Amino acid sequence: MTPNPNILQSIFEEELKTLNLDDIGIVFLNPPPDDYNYYESLAQWWMDFNDYSTRAQKQQDASFFVQFNPLSCKTPAKFRSAARHELYHIYRDGHRDRIGFFRRLFISGPAAILYQYFNIKI
């Protein structure tokens, strides 16, 4: 069962403030239902996973939305970890529209993981 959305929202806001991102317009989207019966089959879940994957996306007005998959929201600790990772991408790279594959794989991704687990900013 997913924790209360208000708890998730407060964790998200705490992490925004930690990275001084609370003034650039980042919206937390509630996750889809976490009840696995919601998906008719594993194949349906896999097809929907891309739509509900954990991601941050820049909008045309330069604000962002961050969406979390249901597995990221199972516990407050898992949610905080996923939120830290996605928000660090925005903090460090401004979530550029065109970031190269190798930069994402070898620089941006590992940097977000270091922050996510060890609170190291590079």
What tokens appear for 90 in the block?
A: 């925005």
Position 94 scores a pLDDT of 74
Q: Show me where the domains of the chain are located.
A: 5-118
Position 115 scores a pLDDT of 96
Position 42 scores a pLDDT of 53
Position 85 scores a pLDDT of 93
Asked if 105 and 91 touch (Cβ cutoff 8 Å), the reply is: no
Residue with tokens 């790279």: 93
> For each successive 10 residues of the chain (122 residues), what is the average pLDDT?
82 94 83 50 53 72 80 87 92 72 86 94 92
Position 31 scores a pLDDT of 54
What tokens appear for 51 in the block?
A: 């739509």
Position 36 scores a pLDDT of 47
Position 101 scores a pLDDT of 80
